Amino acid sequence: MNVIVTGCAGFIGSHTTEELLSRGHTVIGVDSMTYAASEENMKEFIDSIDFHNIDINDTEKIHNIVTTHGVEWIINFAAETHVDNSIVSVEPFIRSNIDGVFSLLEVCRNTGCKILHISTDEIYGSATKGSFTETDNFNPKNPYSATKAAAEHLVTSFHNTYGVEYKMTRMSNNFGPRQHQEKFIPTILRSLRSNKKIPIYGDGKNIRDWFYVKDCAKCVVDVLELGEMNEVYNLTLQNELENIEVVNIILEEFDLDPQENIEFVADRLGHDFRYSIDNEKFLGISSRTPTDFRKSLQQTIKNK
């Protein structure tokens, strides 16, 4: 297929671009090269794609790319994603995560192109028990997750109103090579390499579902190729760990003492305690087993 990958110079988008190319798809890359993007992320595939340095809010340019290249799918990774940044300033999240999605949907509405929209498990809010399924209600608790929830409503409304066809994924917490330094595991590694203590919010007991980015990229392309039209899929391979557990595992890799390398800091405003999603629906279209967590961490450390 001919596909546009927005956010192709970012973390998950670059890995998914590689996975698409490995399966024989033709990729047109779109990225506005904000602070979270990097030419280095594209070095392995830049000569294999047609790259455009443009903003997804430039509806006319995206429309022209779709019509010129006969694009069948837009895979939308382009987004502001860091919760702390959304707490400080909401406007960039509205522009990228809501206005940008509206722009892409307008292109789809006017060209017949389909959209695979990348969302997040954070739209469900905190899971006190059990795991969320795709039919559970949204309960976003911070500006980032609120804008992602709004984007989902736009996608489904454009399907219902204008017949735009879509697929959607809600993925758990990714980690791996190329992740931006503002995220949790890169912060741990940067602290250790700078001989600084690792800052941990609150008591470190918050739980996240850790999803290796290369596994995630495979799952996203599985949804593109095998998923039902106009359906949503939770993407996870179910590896829930407390933040403090992740820190301790990494410290073991470096043979370092937790007592000497950790400092607890004031908790994030509105910090969700636990994210947890059910992946039974995804496993109905594709059987994937996760990369061993320690092996994937070692690859992350090696490539950081």
Q: Give the pLDDT of residue 130.
A: 93
**Number of structural domains in the chain:** 2
Task: Classify residue 231: in a domain, yes or no.
Answer: yes
Catalytic residues: 121-122, 144
182 and 56 within one domain: no
Does 282 map to a domain? no
Q: What is the model's pLDDT at position 264?
A: 94
Residues in the chain: 304
Question: Token pair for residue 31?
Answer: 């990225």
Q: Same structural domain for residues 62 and 168?
A: yes
Helix or strand (DSSP H, E) at 2: strand 2-6
- Mean pLDDT (whole number) for 79-97: 94
- Sorted by sequence, the CB contacts under 8 Å of residue 114 that are 6+ apart come out as 72, 73, 74, 108, 164, 165, 166, 167, 229
Q: Is 52 helix (H, G, I), strand (E, B) or coil?
A: strand
Residue 189 has pLDDT above 90, yes or no: yes
Looking at the fold, whether 113 and 182 belong to one and the same domain comes out as no
pLDDT higher than 70, residue 304? no
Amino acid identity at 248 = N
- The answer to whether residues 150 and 253 belong to one domain is no
Instruction: Report if residue 281 sits inside a domain.
Output: no
Q: What is the DSSP letter of 95?
A: I
Q: CATH number of the domain that 230 lies in?
A: 3.40.50.720
Instruction: Read off φ and ψ for residue 176, nearest 5 degrees.
Output: 145, -175
Taking the CA atoms of 198, 199, 205 and 209 in sequence, report the sign of the dihedral they define. negative
Burial of 256 (0-12, 13-18, 19+ CB in 10 A): middle
Upper half-sphere CA count for residue 139 (Cβ side, 13 Å): 13
Q: Do both 8 and 92 map to the same domain?
A: yes
Q: pTM value? A: 0.94
Same domain? 181 vs 254: yes
**Are residues 264 and 216 part of one domain?**
no
Tell me which of 169 and 36 has the higher pLDDT: 169
Give the pLDDT confidence of 152-172 residue by residue, as tens digits. 999 999 999 999 999 999 999
Q: For the chain, what is the mean pLDDT?
A: 95
| pLDDT tens readout for residues 213-223 | 999 999 999 99
pLDDT band at 290 (very low <50, low <70, confident <90, very high): confident
Q: At residue 82, does pLDDT exceed 90? A: no
Same domain, 18 and 124: yes
Angstrom distance (rounded) from CA 251 to CA 246: 9
Going by pLDDT thresholds of 50, 70 and 90, the confidence category of residue 272 is confident
> How large is the average pLDDT for residues 236-248?
93
- C-alpha–C-alpha distance, residues 224 and 228, integer Å: 9
| Domain hosting residue 203, numbered range | 176-208+239-274+291-302
Of the pLDDT bands very low, low, confident and very high (cuts 50, 70, 90), residue 125 is: very high
Do 182 and 161 lie in one domain? The reply is: no
The CATH code of the domain that includes 269 is: 3.90.25.10
pLDDT above 70 coverage of the chain, percent: 100
Task: Give yes or no: residues 126 and 22 share one domain.
Answer: yes
